[in-house]
Chain A
Amino acid sequence: MKKAVSRVYLALIYLFLYAPILLLVVFSFNDTDTKSRTVWSGFSLRWYEMLFQDRMLLQALTNTLIIAVSAAIGATLLGTLAAIGISSMKSWRKKVVMNITNLPMLNPEIVTGVSLMLLLVFLANLFGVQLGIGSVILAHITFCLPYVILSVLPKLRQMDPNLYEAAQDLGCTPLRSFFKVVLPEILPGVITGMVMSFTLSLDDFIISYFCSGTTQTLPVFIYSMTKKRVSPEINALSTILFAVILVLLLLINVRTGKVGGRKGKEAQEF
């Protein structure tokens, strides 16, 4: 009895989580001339066809992907380095730095967005350039940074500090021992941070809105349709994005699963 109730409860939670996405996927295949999202009138791929003809939407998508990839890479590089630095600090200093790092995460996004915009506009005027894709990437790196640091730090804490010294004892230069010993140990944390930055950057609206100048990211573009009506093309696009991210997640899971499995076996053999 108890089991049945808990199963129903679980099912309800999943239904609640996934029903909107399911509806979105279903209506992306709706065959209608009138952009209706409430009346089902047969299966068709027309919105997918329209999607690939919509130059503005594709431009926005390309911008968003470029920004998300660059921001993820930039934030991961900087964040990993910062995490290594922070982890070797003495306790009170570490606390102060960690608090400073965490502050932007707790800060309302609108405050981050407006203040970044003010700074970027000031800098752009100083150097005589315009805000554009570059300024959005800078802004995104800034707000993704704490997330990377937070996901890398625990991995560094788990690592045996003697490993790094042992590598140097055995003749590695500091740089080489970092790549040979430290990086493989903290890699799961680095990848988590990178994927997180990617998704955060992908769906960020507020900060992109303020910092984008004349370039347009996908969320900003979709928002500009709200006075008219959001076309079912957006359903089609969301479905594709959802599928791509699902596949990515599966790949990552399969990969870490395999690595974990191999390690487990090795440990058994010892």
Chain B
Amino acid sequence: MRKAWKAAALAALVFLSSAAVPAAHAEDGEESAPLTGETIYVYNWGEYMADGRDGSLDINTEFTRRTGIQVEYSTFDTNESLYAKLVSGGASYDVIIPSDYMISKMIHEDMLEKLDFSNIPNFQYIDEAYRNLSYDPTNEYSVPYTWGLVGIFYNKQYVTDPVDSWDILWNEKYAGKILMFDNPRDAFGIAQKRLGFSFNSTDEDEWIQAAVLLKEQEPLLQAYVMDQIFNKMESGEAWLAPYYAGDAAILVESNENIGFAIPTEQGTNFFVDAMCIPKGCRNKSGAEAYINFLCEPEIAAANMEYIGYSTPETAAKELLPEEITSNPIYYPPEEIIENSEVFVDLPEETALQLDALWAEVKMGGPGDAVTLIVTLAAFLALYLAIVVYKKVKRRREQ
């Protein structure tokens, strides 16, 4: 039997080493810089950087090859989990790539280092339109990585009305076939734009009106979802869904029945993910070299081609294939961008109100202590009833 174990161990070894070999021989051709022994820790969204698959450029390996600095790369799923990880003190990163409103929150809480732009000369390629945005008004803390817009994906076979406003997500004709964002900022944003309000309003009344509108919509919805939208839209289970243009562009490519539209007149959300250096980083100059590298037009272009978002650099855009740059999903006309708005961190009062309203929309009311006590009491009563019943039964038997 020993042999079987040996064979199993050997098989496992082969499996592991076969995994390691292609990585070691991935780069050949040009000479590479000697390793400096430095390492930078990068924290980015999942599936958000070209990594050499499907013939793309392996960004991190290329950076190591040019500078000799090694990259330790890991990924997160939401801005909130990135924030939680940084606040907990459980990890320190050198480069992080959060979205707009999270950046403004981190600036307010003094969690970001000011960047030394003399180490990031490639910042010159970033277009004027993407500098000094309201989340970082003086542009001292962040360098834009990607941007995009929120729009509506719809199934042309079933949706016969023109899709040109957010109103269609409230159309009773499509009851049970509509999907909605499963996060408060995006969901409320749609209601706010339908009412003509700003995303970053601090007016209590406006938020309540938006919540009322979302409550009206709730019975028409199939579900509140995030990434399930891909499967649900593709299989025809749902017909209408708002989502981020860059993420879902593959939907339009894969299924010719699926269309995409941005409500031009009401305006939409314009979001930016930008590179920042958090306080407590271990290698600031390495981090700045990395940010500078990602801003290089060829690198940015190769990266965008893989991840499917839009680049904030005209120089990089020019290097991309015509079919991408002329596609309005990726690069919509100017007036749409002008009519859109960026999320900014909300003041605490408003944020608390938003949380409460969101709970009300999703669960039909804030989770209150009364319900909890009643539930617990019901369980307790049930338990006592069983105990008493058993005792009575036993006494009878005696």
Contact = CB atoms under 8 A, between A and B. Distances in A.
A52 B74 contact: no
B186 to A, nearest CB: 12
Interface residues on A, range: 35 or more
B155 to A, nearest CB: 14
Contact of A65 (B16, B51, B226, B253): B16
Contacts of A117: 88, 90
Most A CB contacts (10 A, CB to CB) among B52, B58, B88 go to B88
B54 to A, nearest CB: 8
Interface in B11-63: 12, 16, 18-20, 22-23, 26, 41, 43, 45-48, 51-54, 58
B90 A227 contact: no
Contacts of B88: 117, 121, 210
A180 interface: no
B253 A228 contact: no
B362 to A, nearest CB: 18
Contacts of B250: 34-35
B249 to A, nearest CB: 11
Interface in A134-156: none
B354 to A, nearest CB: 20
Interface in A242-263: 244, 247-248, 251, 254-255, 258
B375 to A, nearest CB: 18
B163 to A, nearest CB: 22
Contact of B19 (A38, A58, A125): A58
Contacts of A247: 8
B374 interface: no
Nearest to B46: A224
Contacts of B52: 53, 55
A125 B53 CA distance: 38
Nearest to B308: A228
B89 interface: yes
Contacts of A230: 227
Nearest to A60: B74
A92 B253 CA distance: 69
Contacts of B234: 34, 36, 38-39
B90 A62 contact: no
A36 B226 CA distance: 16
Contacts of A258: 1
Interface stretch (B75-83, B114-122, B138-146, B291-299): B75-83
Interface stretch (A82-90, A168-176, A214-222): A214-222
A112 interface: no
B28 to A, nearest CB: 16
B4 interface: yes
A226 interface: yes
Interface residues of B, number: 47
A54 interface: yes
Contact of A39 (B12, B51, B54, B235): B235
A61 B48 CA distance: 19
B145 to A, nearest CB: 15
A123 to B, nearest CB: 12
A258 B2 CA distance: 13
A38 B233 CA distance: 10
B355 interface: no
Contacts of A226: 46, 77, 226-227
B77 A225 contact: yes
Contact of A227 (B19, B74, B77, B255): B77
B287 to A, nearest CB: 13
Contacts of A214: 41, 43, 72, 74, 91-93
Contacts of B23: 55, 58
B8 A248 contact: yes
A121 B75 contact: no
Nearest to A216: B74
A57 B339 CA distance: 40
B247 interface: yes
A229 B19 contact: no
Contacts of A221: 46, 74-75
A221 B53 CA distance: 17
Contacts of B58: 55
Interface string B247-285: 100100111000000000000000000000000000000
A104 interface: no
Given A56-B51, A251-B8, A38 B77 contact: no
Contacts of B26: 55
A36 B234 CA distance: 8
Nearest to A37: B231
Given A56-B51, A213-B90, A227 B45 contact: yes
- Nearest 4 pairs of A and B residues by beta carbon: A34-B254, A224-B46, A224-B75, A225-B46
Given A36-B231, A58-B20, 20 more contacts: A34-B253, A36-B234, A56-B73, A56-B75, A58-B19, A117-B88, A117-B90, A121-B88, A214-B43, A224-B46, A224-B74, A224-B75, A224-B76, A224-B77, A226-B46, A226-B226, A227-B46, A227-B227, A228-B48, A251-B8
14 contacts: A34-B234, A34-B253, A38-B235, A55-B58, A56-B75, A213-B91, A221-B46, A221-B75, A224-B76, A227-B45, A229-B47, A229-B227, A247-B8, A254-B4
Interface of A: 33-39, 50, 52-56, 58, 61-62, 65, 117, 120-121, 125, 130-131, 210-216, 221, 223-231, 244, 247-248, 251, 254-255, 258
